Structure 1
Amino acid sequence: MTLIEEVKAIMQRSASDEYLNVMVPLLEDYVKAECNNTFRKNGKTVYPGGVKIFIAKACEHNLTVSGVSSKRLGTVSYSYDLDFPDSLRRLLNPYRRVRFHAF
């Protein structure tokens, strides 16, 4: 099973294949940067279950209106909060690697 197929199976909402084909690679890059981890083992990228769940839930989050931070009724206007909630970001905590900065 590919990562996109696994994400689609985990998601509780249906999403188009086109959406997942765009979002999953973007979220893979986000996870690698956020965790400072390439998830490479024996030359292959292998994501643990928590990372797969994060990617699926992040796709769901972007599909819902839960990301709406404000609305206006007159001449309809919406503002979106593009940050993921802390409860979602905590899924990545076990996979983070420490970064050392040289001064």
Structure 2
Amino acid sequence: MIRIAALDAVTQARSLREVPSMATGVISALLDVDEEELTVRLSYELPAEVAAVWREAEALRAQAEEAEGRAALLRREAVRGLLTQTHMSQAEAGVVLGLSKQRVQQLAS
């Protein structure tokens, strides 16, 4: 269902691909204006339950990104601390941490 609130009008489309042209067509007909003269902005409304689940998923994704950033910072700090405090080689630190020497080099730089 396509609702055009400003004109108190509704129409339908068989697929989401048709929504812009159907909305433009209805607005054009009701306002007696050429379709080419119109700019239509669309917004889609999810069912309330779906929207709530989507918002929660997005919030969790954002938290995960933040946690991943913090984890990366702490990994770098741990590698640098290990190398500084123990004077191990990067290869030895890799063995202790279960990382390749190359990964230790990346985290240490």
Pairwise TM-score range, normalised by the shorter structure: under 0.3
TM-score (norm 1): 0.26
Q: Which of the pair has more CA radius of gyration?
A: 2
In terms of fraction of residues, the more strand-rich structure is 1
Name the structure, 1 or 2, with higher relative contact order (CA <8 Å, separation 6+): 1
TM-score (norm 2): 0.25
